[in-house]
Structure 1
Amino acid sequence: MKELLEVKKIFDILAATSSRKEKERILEKYKNNRMFVECLQFLLDTYIVTGISKKKISKSLNSVNYSNLNNVYDMINYLSKNNTGRDIDIKTIQVFANQNEELKKFIIGLATKSIKLGLTSKTANKIMPGLVREFGVMLAENYDKNKDKLGNKEFILTPKLDGTRIIVVKDKNSIKIFSRQGQIIENLIDIEKDFIKMPVGVYDGELLAEGIYKNSKERFKDTLKRCRIKGTKTGLKMVCYDYIQNINDFYAGEDKTPCYIRKNKLERIFKRLINELKYIEYLEPLYQGRDVTMITKYLSEMISNNEEGVMINISDESYQCKRVKSLLKVKVFNTCDIRCIDIEEGDGKYKDLLGNIICDYKGYRLGVGSGFTDEQRKYYFINQNKILGRVIEVKFFEETNNEKGELSLRFPVFLRVREEGKEVSYY
């Protein structure tokens, strides 16, 4: 266990610094330490799941059989193959961790993949190229800035859903559900049961609260509320809009199958299982063709129904796990996700309440004072840690320059604080 103790020390050093450059220096120094590299790869690879949570690992299992593990390599190999969180798997890790009191917490942290290093796969791959498979999904550009990309090409229009993006990877042995950022989402029991019936592949879609809502914003609030439940998450459904049949293509970052074929395959799957699925459904296209006037027509319909907008897929384009110009979003107002860096107290009726937040917009200070309810102004002024430093979503009419020539936004309006882990995005 002496070698693993050294790995623990390196992990502690990485976690202790917030400097990206210092983390890179540490990685460079220890990149030839085989055990460190394997433990780091195991921890950072989102596609590797163990099925063991911090809650499960404390389970009392006195009379359960277990497998003997001699070292951390055995543990990594074992969990890579046995990742459904069975009692035998939990007991196996418990016994291995209990062999060394000094390393017990570290071993459990590895097995549950709960160690926080403040390190991304991108940083690790910069020092050790190809070490970690990077998680990515296809993201849209704004239609207004990329109308020329459409030309006379055939496209597919679908409603823009305002939910939580999820990716389901269904293979022969397991069903893994990921957030847009690559974090494992657990306890979506209803959706997982439906996916048992689905063919192997990668399913891209949106998690939405079930029920009838007056607008998409109300549905989104309820969706987030249900997603944040620690235990079994109910009252949620997945609406699927893309499908990659070969999982390895997703891991590689691109499925070259044209969009219209991917959607046709997905539609056939749902038609075949129409009477067997309750919590997952197919998002029917609004239009397929070359008539660009349909974009405005359906956008108007969406807006009149209090929906957010429409999405445009160019029919013959591939699925790429990055932001692309073959997928475009159309909204009356644009939105961006920017970080709140300061809070200002209001005056007049808003004295002793939040008056304005200051955000970092492309390196410039941007004031956002509209969009807050009175309750939110009180809550965020008292609980500033709930918004300060967090990424927030802002809607705006257009990007502009202020009187100093600095970048700014016209009519910025606060929409919501985004989920933890959300990155800044200007798209």
Structure 2
Amino acid sequence: MLLNKRSFTIFHLPKIERDLTNTGRNRILRTFNQLVLDRAGSNSRQPDTTRKLDKKTTKRELTGGKELAVLTAFVNRMRQRPLLDDKIRTIRDFNRRPRTGRVFKLIYDPSVKFYLTPKRVHGLLSTKKVKAKLKTAHEFKSLMTLLNALSNREITGREALLATGKFIQKYCVTPEKRDLFFRILDKDLDIGMTAEAVNKLWEDTPQTRQYYYSKTVSNPAIDKESTSICSATQQFDTLAAFVEEIKATNTFAEKYKILSAHPECHSLLNKIYDPTEKFNITSKNLIKYMQNKPRGYFDSDPTNLPKQLQNAPVYDNIESLLSALSERQISGQLARFAVARFVHMNCTKPIHKELMYKILCKNLKIGMNIQRIKKVCGVDSIATFSVALGRTLKMNQIDSLFASSNEEDSNKWFASRKLDGVRCLVVARGMNVRAYSRSGKSFVTLKKIIECVKQIIRKHRKVLYRKFWNEGLVLDGELCVISEGIDGQFRETFADAMAVVGTANQQVEDPTYCVFDCLSKGEFERRVGERTFAERLEFMKMLIENPIEKKERVGLLDQIEVNNGEHLRNLISQASSAGWEGLILRKNVGYEGKRSCNMLKIKQHREAEYQVKAIETGPMNIYVNGKVEERDVLTNVLVEHAGNKVSVGSGFTVEQRIKYKERPDLIIGKEITVQYFDETEVSDKKSRSSRKRTKTARDDKVSIENTTAGVVRSLRFPTVKAVWENGKRDV
């Protein structure tokens, strides 16, 4: 007779049964039933109850496909969490799962090697008659079992290669799972954390967190209770001490030491300096908002507030407030009120308010940029976006482009139309496609563009898999709103493009994505590529078959090979007569993700004289006697163009900024020569929203200070060329 759960009470051991868990009870049942079967003989038929228990046992053993699915979901969650503290919590929750947690630890264990490269496996799967070769290979049903066999050298050489290939064919049925498996062999899941940071988590106690302050006590129970979220006031005090200490030195070596000695500030610095995090509120607007409110307004009863502010959320630490701002959980008047109340409640010292204003401006002015902070923090949580940018080519430099004969293709250039739109990069990993600005800001209103890119990926999946088998795809281009001109050629308007990109909750109706470069994700992240532009262009023509003229959602920008200087001058003349913004020249060399002379822009500037109506001053980091100091200097001047005030801030030297701050009479009322690219017109309906959005996406595109009914006219790329202190231009 075999036992089941009901007949378990045959044993007169009520105390033992009461103390047993379900797992322990099931283990006793299986052991007892196995003994009965062994005595009855191996041919005895097993009852239904035991078979049910066996089914439960097999369910617990995850297959390779299930393991990969769980790991894929985990990796996607990690990539969606920019904050280090969120990543730590996600890893710890994941490690509580005994089976999948062991796989994750095995991947990041520095002492474990799999002795197999993704390139070898990919080469095997790309060969002909691969199915016949894999028939005789050893079959592994679990990812953990396969990885253990590889690391323990139970299978080696061709045997290991065939077994891995068979596992991939059976369980890695989607490109996303294949990509994940190749990353497992590389021992890097691309989750924004280094192996050292992950391994350190396993050494730390469960109470250790980046955002939290823990008291050193011996009792674990007390230790768990004493770990609490640091208050905003404490955070401001800690940050103020850190900023004061790091600003006291000018050497990077000392700054590195100070930053390393303050790990409690790393996560907050990540949040502040991450270029993909936009807080969508400026310190200038916040100060103006707070000054216009009566005393006691932020302490008043919620019922006395406007209806939309009565349920405004209250934030008790800096990170939660910044996350709400960047994720647009609060916006507009609600965001201004929430931040102002946060400042009123938590900024108890003047230095606290000053720090909060700098945080909103994403610059603590500590003399360190994103790359340096990322180097010290030890994790890849700060996204560093760097795109190819061009330098301006002067007309007298044209012949020098074709004079060199040192290297092959050194004189080969490609010219394309300079589009009047918004720079946009589309990053695709499998079917995970996202759009970003050139500074790394995520575009959330381009679902139509993203769907078109996904269709391209589906159509050319095999080619993309062979070309970028373990990497993602990056398309570089310009986002435009296109209309047909009188001459039949398409026209693009920057103001319209900015208006649709900056829309928070509304999808762009009629966008056009004009692609001019195509990279692997590895090339983009390394900022260096070996493939020449001609090779990349050939691949783009295969990938994107439609030119822009066909009014498709995603089109390929036409590239013209330039033969000599005379040919280039003719193209410049044609571009000018057609009313184009200019030309872009790309040298036939590998990709460079920075501003370089391998990418040149040609555009015509205009000049005009304006009288300075007023000046604005503010703090700015300037070099004085070889040291960086923050001083109040002239930041910009206000001139009048077509009846509207225009702000001009570029072109002043450090000496001029100091002098005109101390002696404003030397510039106010005097003429200045302003060099600008073009005049812009924005309708009164869009003036306010487009003005704010323009400053968010590209501060140098449009400078608008005032609006009037009808049409607002302003200047693009205004730069001070000369100041005429005598009053008027005399030369």
The structure whose residues are more often strand, as a share, is 1
**Please, which of 332, 354, 359 is the counterpart of residue 649 of structure 2?**
359
**2:695, 2:499 → 1: CA distance?**
21
Paired residue secondary structure (2:229): helix
Take 1:37 and 1:369, find their aligned partners in 2: how far apart are those partners? 42
Task: Report if the CA contact (8 A) 2:393-2:601 is conserved.
Answer: yes
**Match for 2:636: what amino acid?**
I
Question: RCO greater where, 1 or 2, for CA within 8 Å and sep 6 or more?
Answer: 1
Structure 1 equivalent of residue 585 of structure 2: 312
Structure 2 residue aligned with 1:303: 576
Which position in structure 2 is the counterpart of 1:271? 545
- Name the CA shift for 1:218/1:173 in 2 (closer, same or farther; >3 Å): closer
Alignment equivalent of 1:41, drawn from 244, 266, 270: 270
Tell me whether 1:134 sits opposite 2:384 in the alignment. Answer: yes
After TM superposition, list the pairs within 5 Å mapping 1:249-264 onto structure 2.
Answer: 249-264=523-538
Contact 1:179 1:185 in 2 (8 A): yes
Deviations 1:251-276 (A, max 9, x none): 122222211111111111013999x9
> What letter matches 2:598 in structure 1?
S
TM-superposed deviation, 1:157:
1.1
In the alignment, the residues of structure 2 paired with residue 43 and residue 396 of structure 1 have an alpha-carbon distance, to the nearest angstrom, of 28
Q: Aligned to 2:369, what secondary structure does the other structure show?
A: helix
- Choose 197-206 or 355-364, whichever is displaced more: 355-364
For the residues of structure 1 that align with 2:261 and 2:701, how far apart are their CA atoms? 40
Matched, 1:329 2:601: yes
Provide the residue aligned with 2:563 in structure 1: 290
- What is the number of residues matched between the two proteins? 343
Does residue 177 (structure 1) correspond to residue 435 (structure 2)? The answer is: yes
**Cα distance change, pair 20–325 in 1 and its aligned pair in 2 (3 A):** farther
User: SS of the residue aligned with 1:341?
Assistant: strand
CA distance 1:169–1:102, shift in 2 (3 Å)? same
Corresponding residue number in structure 2 for 1:192: 450
Note the residue ranges of structure 1 that are not aligned, 5 or more in a row: 54-97, 412-427
Between the aligned partners of 2:477 and 2:730, the Cα distance in structure 1 is: 31
1:207 aligned partner: 479
- Which residue identity does 1:226 align to in structure 2? V
Give 1 or 2 for the bigger CA radius of gyration.
2
- The verdict on how the C-alpha distance between 1:186 and 1:302 changes in structure 2, with shifts beyond 3 A counting, is same
Moved more, 40-49 or 291-300: 40-49
Alignment CA distance shift 1:277-1:396 (3 Å) = closer
Q: Tell me, in whole angstroms, the C-alpha distance in 2 between the residues paired with 1:240 and 1:388.
A: 24
Query: Structure 2: 5+ residue runs without aligned partners?
Result: 1-211, 215-227, 281-312, 328-358, 405-410, 458-471, 608-633, 658-671, 703-714
Given that residues 484 and 491 in structure 2 are in contact (C-alpha distance below 8 angstroms), is that contact kept between their aligned partners in structure 1? no
Q: Distance in 2 between matches of 1:307 and 1:138?
A: 21
Q: Give distance in 2, aligned partners of 1:332 and 1:372.
A: 12
Match of 1:343 in 2: 638
Matched, 1:156 2:414: yes
Deviates more, 1:169-178 or 1:146-155: 146-155
Query: Displacement, 1:35?
Result: 5.4
**Matched residue of 1:198: which SS?**
helix
TM-score by length of 1: 0.63
CA distance in 1, matches of 2:456, 2:600: 28
In 1: Cα distance, 2:583 partner to 2:530 partner: 24
Residues 236-262 of structure 1, C-alpha deviations (whole Å, 9 max, x = no match): 111000010x20221122222211111
- The 1-side partners of 2:650 and 2:416 are apart by 32
Range with greater deviation from structure 2 (154-163 or 10-19): 10-19
Q: Does the 8 Å CA contact 1:205/1:239 hold for their aligned counterparts?
A: yes
State yes or no: 1:240 paired with 2:515.
yes
Counting aligned pairs with the same residue, the percent is 15
Task: Please name the residue that 2:161 is paired with.
Answer: none
* 1:298 alignment partner, SS class: helix
Instruction: Quickly say closer, same or farther: Cα 1:161–1:295, change in 2 above 3 A.
Output: same
Paired residue secondary structure (1:255) = coil
CA gap 1:7/1:265 in 2 versus in 1, 3 angstroms? farther
Task: Assess if the C-alpha contact under 8 Å between 2:481 and 2:511 holds in 1.
Answer: yes
* In 2: Cα distance, 1:203 partner to 1:373 partner: 29
Report the CA distance between 1:341 and its aligned residue: 1.2
CA contact (8 A) 1:340 1:387 kept: no
CA contact (8 A) 2:413 2:561 kept: yes
CA contact (8 A) 2:495 2:682 kept: no
Q: Return closer, same or farther for 1:48/1:204 CA change in 2, 3 Å cut-off.
A: same
Amino acid corresponding to residue 417 of structure 2 in structure 1: P
Deviation digits for residues 355-409 of structure 1, max 9, x if unmatched? 77553414257554997789999x99xxx9999996465569999666789xxx9
State whether residues 191 and 280 of structure 1, in contact with CA within 8 Å, keep that contact through their aligned partners in structure 2: yes
Asked if 1 retains the 8 angstrom alpha-carbon contact of 2:436 and 2:442, the reply is: yes
Q: 1:313 to 1:16 in 2, by over 3 A?
A: farther
Query: Could you state the TM-score of these two structures normalised by the residue count of structure 2?
Result: 0.39
2:229 is matched with 5
Aligned to 1:119: 363
